[in-house]
């Protein structure tokens, strides 16, 4: 099956979608697509067929999201923990990914027509080299599309992603691009694999398991979490509508928590800048206390310099990441 499933909603689905769309809609939905193997066992089919049907369900879900005007979706396709499964199953999942990314490249015109940008979040180094190259090609091919976004978490766990972000900031300090005092919560967010996306509004896990399994831990602290008992390959349009409805019911409190958090971050940053300026003035002020106007000017100057420094660091980081993908592509596919 292709990544893009064409087709309209039927009449009752269309009416329901329009009713839902009269309320606040999530702009970004994340899925833990769990239950493929239980689905296979219950239906007496091969485990690999369960995963294949899981992919088909993903394509169908993307179509529903498009009709519900949800422009961004993130899915947990392969966790670093999944490498601990049997060789047979890991090889099967790698082969499925190979087939699907090859297919994605074949249907590049259709992806362009629909404006679909595919990103892969995770440590590609853990994957077979040919798959790394295919993924890099797919990501580069759809990079400039901007109508809808699919983030595929592959060789991913959240704690690994956060640790990697901390490493990137340490690299920035080592290179003299940023100061250790520039390290902050918003800067760490910018160093995550997910830096190009807003945080998910809604996270859905299927199969009845009530845990996050190291998925988007940083990004979902103010998201609506919905756990549904249906197995992923059996997921339906109505399951998705029910989850969106739950989001709508908690939308106000989520929004409030986010606003409060944003304000708190801004005041923390201001305080951090003030401390740096005070230290600077103490060292360079010949023991004389600075007046209010001088402190204010110094603070403004420091804030502007810090913002420029951070932007230059993020540009360098982006260049490093882009080069990794282009090098993989020019590596003779």
By the criterion CB under 6 A, which residues form the site for ligand FPP? Answer: 33-38, 51, 54-55, 58, 77, 82, 96-97, 100, 152, 207
How many other C-beta atoms can be found within 10 angstroms of the C-beta atom of residue 90?
A: 14
152 binds, among ligand FPP, Mg ion, none (CB under 5 to 8 A by kind): ligand FPP
Q: Judged by CB under 5 A, does residue 201 bind Mg ion?
A: no
- Residue pointed to by tokens 């595929």: 152
Alpha carbons 153 and 39: distance in angstroms, whole number = 22
Closest approach of Cβ 98 to ligand FPP, in Å?
9
Burial class (CB in 10 A: 0-12, 13-18, 19+), 200: buried
**Residue of minimal CB distance from ligand FPP?**
54
Binding residues with Mg ion: total (CB under 5 A): 1
Put residue 332 in one of left, alpha, beta given phi > 0 → left and psi -120 to 50 → alpha. Answer: left
Classify residue 129 as exposed, middle or buried by CB count within 10 Å of its CB (0-12, 13-18, 19+).
exposed
User: What minimum distance in Å lies between the beta carbon of 266 and ligand FPP?
Assistant: 37
For the bound state, the minimum distance from the C-beta of residue 38 to ligand FPP, rounded and expressed in Å, comes to: 3
Task: Rule CB under 5 A: choose which of 34, 60, 161, 273 binds Mg ion.
Answer: 34
Output the smallest distance, CB 34 to Mg ion, in A: 4
Please, which residue, 94 or 254, has the CB nearer to ligand FPP?
Answer: 94
Burial readout 142-165 (b: 16 or more C-beta within 10 A, e: otherwise): beebeebbbbbbbbbbbebbbeeb
**Among 81, 1, 5, 103, CA closest to 49:** 1
**Which of ligand FPP, Mg ion, none does residue 294 bind to, with CB < 5 to 8 Å depending on kind?**
none
Decide whether 43 or 146 has the Cβ nearer to ligand FPP: 43
Q: Quick one: 79 or 199, whose CB is closer to Mg ion?
A: 79
Residue 88 or 263 with smaller CB distance to Mg ion = 88
Q: Does 40 bind Mg ion (CB under 5 A)?
A: no
CB 305 within 8 A of CB 119: no
For residue 120, the minimal CB distance to Mg ion (Å) is 21
Binding positions for Mg ion, rule: CB under 5 A: 34
């Amino acid at each position: 099956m292709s990544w893009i499933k064409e087709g309209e909603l039927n009449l009752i689905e269309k009416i329901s979608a329009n009713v839902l769309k009269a309320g606040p809609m999530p702009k970004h939905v994340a899925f833990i697509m769990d239950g493929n193997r239980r689905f296979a066992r219950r239906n007496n089919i091969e485990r690999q067929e369960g995963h294949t049907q899981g992919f088909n369900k993903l394509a169908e879900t993307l179509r529903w999201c498009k009709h519900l005007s949800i422009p961004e979706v993130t899915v947990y396709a392969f966790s670093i923990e999944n490498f601990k499964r049997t060789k047979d199953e890991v090889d099967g999942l790698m082969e499925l990914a190979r087939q699907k990314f090859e297919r994605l490249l074949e249907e590049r015109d259709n992806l362009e027509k629909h404006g679909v940008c595919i990103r892969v979040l995770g440590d590609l180094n853990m994957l077979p080299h040919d798959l790394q190259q295919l993924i890099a090609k797919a990501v580069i091919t759809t990079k400039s599309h901007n109508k809808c976004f699919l983030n595929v978490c592959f060789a991913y766990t959240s704690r690994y992603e956060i640790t990697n972000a901390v490493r990137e900031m340490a690299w920035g300090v080592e290179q003299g691009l940023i100061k250790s005092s520039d390290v902050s919560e918003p800067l760490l967010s910018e160093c995550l694999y997910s830096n190009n996306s807003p945080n998910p509004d809604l996270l859905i896990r299927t199969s009845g398991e009530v845990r996050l399994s190291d998925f988007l831990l940083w990004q979902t602290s103010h998201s609506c979490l919905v756990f549904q008992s249906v197995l992923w390959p059996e997921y339906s349009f109505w399951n998705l509508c029910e989850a969106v409805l739950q989001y709508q019911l908690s939308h106000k409190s989520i929004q409030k928590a986010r606003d409060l958090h944003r304000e708190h971050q801004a005041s923390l940053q201001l305080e951090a800048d003030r401390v740096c300026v005070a230290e600077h003035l103490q060292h360079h002020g010949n023991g004389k206390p600075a007046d209010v106007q001088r402190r204010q000017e110094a603070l403004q100057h420091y804030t502007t310099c810090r913002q420029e420094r951070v932007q230059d660091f993020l540009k360098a980081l982006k260049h490093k990441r882009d080069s990794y993908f282009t090098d993989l592509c020019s590596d003779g596919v």
